[in-house]
């Protein structure tokens, strides 16, 4: 059985994209810590940044970007401040992007996302009291069951928006980063590029 060799060109792109994604994600995490009123938006943007390597199926690079940005994030803010990104937005971004690349059906992906969202909310609320940092007004006026319900709905909507941004970014990076010669492009990859032209939320139609 022959082992597939990774070209030097592809390795260079993977390393470069990992570094850029980690740097952008860390920047957004820092902004989310400094400017508290846009914390959720900045953490979501950091999640989109670590999605970038997944567009080229550089899964290890994406994981590296997340680990580096989350780890260094604790240097720019305390555990509670960065927990929203480290426990939810970073991992969820990777989960969503990978499931989209693997063409996981919505009736499988959404239950997984709902379970993950509620697990993260419970950890942030009971374990780290980070909800008070991410959404102080919500934490002050609502009980946990209401936070879990509203949070699940809001985070699923944010996930839809992130998926739309991911698909747009995927088309852009496909044109910018050519890590394969034309002879190496498979029919499956050509079909995948054609599917990118579909409406952004058509995953719910299957």
Task: Tell me if 68 sits within 8 A of 22, measured CB to CB.
Answer: yes
- Dump pLDDT digits (tens) for 57-114: 999 999 999 999 999 998 887 788 899 999 999 999 999 999 999 999 999 999 999 9
Sign of the CA dihedral with 151 first, then 120, 139, and 67 last: negative
- In angstroms, rounded to a whole number, what is the distance separating the alpha carbons of residues 117 and 19? 27
Higher pLDDT, 5 or 41: 41
- How confident is the model over 39-51, as a mean pLDDT? 95
Residue spans of the domains in the chain: they are 9-177
- Dump pLDDT digits (tens) for 159-205: 999 999 999 999 998 888 876 654 444 555 545 555 555 554 555 55
- Dump pLDDT digits (tens) for 2-15: 455 557 778 888 99
């Amino acid at each position: 059985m022959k082992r597939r060799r990774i070209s030097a060109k592809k390795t260079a792109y993977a390393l470069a994209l990992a570094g850029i994604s980690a740097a952008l994600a860390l920047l957004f995490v820092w902004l989310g810590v400094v400017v508290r009123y846009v914390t959720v938006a900045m953490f979501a943007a950091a999640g989109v940044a670590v999605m970038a390597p997944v567009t080229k199926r550089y899964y290890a690079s994406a994981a590296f970007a997340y680990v580096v940005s989350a780890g260094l994030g604790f240097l720019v803010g305390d555990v509670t401040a960065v927990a929203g990104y480290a426990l939810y937005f970073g991992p969820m971004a990777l989960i969503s992007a990978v499931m989209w690349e693997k063409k996981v059906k919505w009736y499988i992906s959404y239950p997984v996302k709902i379970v993950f969202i509620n697990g993260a909310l419970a950890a942030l609320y009971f374990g780290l009291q980070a909800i008070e940092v991410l959404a102080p007004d919500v934490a002050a006026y609502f009980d946990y069951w209401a936070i879990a319900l509203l949070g699940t709905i809001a985070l699923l909507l944010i996930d839809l928006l992130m998926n739309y941004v991911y698909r747009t970014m995927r088309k852009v990076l496909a044109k910018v980063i050519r890590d394969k010669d034309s002879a190496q492009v498979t029919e499956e990859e050509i079909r995948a590029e054609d599917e990118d032209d579909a409406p952004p939320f058509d995953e719910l139609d299957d």
